[in-house]
Homo-oligomer: A and B are copies of this chain.
Amino acid sequence: MQIVVLAGGIGGAKFLAGVRAVARESGSGVTAVVNVGDDVTLHGLRICPDLDSVMYTLGGAADPERGWGRQGETWTVKEELAAYGAEPAWFGLGDRDIATHLVRTRMLDAGYPLSAVTEALCARWQPGVRLLPATDDRVETHVVVETEEGQRAIHFQEWWVRHRAALPAKRFVFVGAEASKPAAGVLEALSAADVVLVAPSNPVVSVAPILAVGGIREALTAPVVGISPIIGGAPVRGMADKCLAAVQTECSAAGVGNLYGARSTGGLLDGWLVDTTDAGVTIPGVTVRSHDLWMRDERSTAEIVRAALEVARA
């Protein structure tokens, strides 16, 4: 079986560990199509937070406490940059992480597409699934915020990390998405897929920018099953509630399910897996099932994946 997963960073990475476990048992192939809307250039370094979260997590090198970045990380370069007064100082740029960004930036400057760079980095980490950026083009999530001087658009990272999503977001803009094309390998993977799983990632700023890449929505011909990132009215982690508010969507399994919508009405989903707490939710035209959605460890996450694959078969 060929499984494609649409994924953001930390939640996507945890979910993918479960997908990998299930795929190993069944001899299936897994391709992760990862959000690049969070990517940013800081201090001249090209940083891909979601791709790196997935790569480090599946490579066994992620910090388990913090949830992002490298285990055993140190912060010497960041402190030195701050001592020079180099802005921005608010982004968590670890020493180990910087090596990844240096290799990536150098390869991009040499003309390699991000998909090829990601493959080269993964030669070290051996994530056990194929990692693809949603696009090799530059697609950046900007956030339109209300300030005292009126509305202005800031990079997603500035809103998320610097302001901790506390500035009210009016809307999200995926700059460059209209002109973007799927990265090398994405359309082939979708066309060969037996099922597409939408990881329990942030629907507004992780999954939406993947779907905004030109041609990806149209290529979703296999059954699509989403896993709710909201359990009992609260995001499993992160600040999805802030993002959902900006798109006038209720922070609930039903709210996100309806935001994605049924394939039969031009939406994304054939199936929707919600937590047992949210059992009874219905989305018109979508097969909804419930399962314990807490990703406590790889084993419980693999159970979630099996439940999602069951929905796809239904």
Residues of B within 8 A of A80 (CB): 95-96, 98-100
Q: Does A76 contact B (CB under 8 A)?
A: yes
A96 to B81 alpha-carbon distance, docked (Å): 9
Q: How far is the CB of A131 from chain B (nearest CB, A)?
A: 16
A81 to B98 alpha-carbon distance, docked (Å): 9
Q: Which residue of B lies closest to A76 (CB)?
A: B95
Q: Which one, B43, B74, B100, B103, contacts A102 given CB within 8 A? A: B43
Size category, A interface = 20 to 34
Q: Does A252 contact B (CB under 8 A)?
A: no
Q: Which one, B43, B84, B98, contacts A77 given CB within 8 A? A: B98
Q: Does A105 contact B (CB under 8 A)?
A: yes
Q: Are B106 and A84 in contact (CB under 8 A)?
A: no
A63 to B124 alpha-carbon distance, docked (Å): 33
Q: Which residue of B lies closest to A102 (CB)?
A: B43
A45 to B85 alpha-carbon distance, docked (Å): 19
Q: Which one, B43, B83, B124, contacts A124 given CB within 8 A? A: B83
A82-93 Cβ-contact flags toward B at 8 Å (1 or 0): 011110000000
A204 to B96 alpha-carbon distance, docked (Å): 38
Q: Does A150 contact B (CB under 8 A)?
A: no
Q: Given the known A-B contacts A109-B44, A121-B84, A124-B84, are A77 and B103 also in contact in the complex, defined by CB atoms under 8 Å?
A: no
Q: Which of A74, A81, A95 gathers most chain B CB within 10 Å?
A: A95
A53-93 Cβ-contact flags toward B at 8 Å (1 or 0): 00000000000000000000010110011011110000000
A39 to B80 alpha-carbon distance, docked (Å): 21
Q: How far is the CB of A92 from chain B (nearest CB, A)?
A: 15
A102 to B98 alpha-carbon distance, docked (Å): 11
Q: Which of A84, A100, A106 gathers most chain B CB within 10 Å?
A: A84
Residues of B within 8 A of A98 (CB): 77, 80, 98
Q: Are B43 and A106 in contact (CB under 8 A)?
A: yes
Q: How far is the CB of A41 from chain B (nearest CB, A)?
A: 10
Q: Are A102 and B124 in contact (CB under 8 A)?
A: no
Q: Which of A76, A95, A109 gathers most chain B CB within 10 Å?
A: A76
Q: Given the known A-B contacts A77-B95, A95-B95, A98-B98, are A44 and B84 also in contact in the complex, defined by CB atoms under 8 Å?
A: no
Q: How far is the CB of A94 from chain B (nearest CB, A)?
A: 9
A234 to B171 alpha-carbon distance, docked (Å): 70
- Given A74-B74, A86-B106, 15 further pairs, Cβ under 8 A: A43-B106, A44-B44, A44-B105, A45-B102, A74-B76, A76-B96, A76-B99, A77-B99, A80-B98, A81-B102, A81-B103, A83-B99, A84-B103, A85-B124, A95-B95
Residue contacts A-B, CB under 8 angstroms, 17 given? A43-B103, A44-B102, A44-B105, A44-B106, A45-B102, A74-B76, A76-B95, A77-B77, A77-B99, A80-B98, A80-B100, A81-B102, A81-B103, A83-B99, A84-B100, A86-B106, A95-B95
Closest 10 CB pairs of A and B: A80-B99, A76-B95, A44-B106, A81-B99, A43-B102, A77-B99, A84-B103, A80-B96, A86-B103, A95-B95
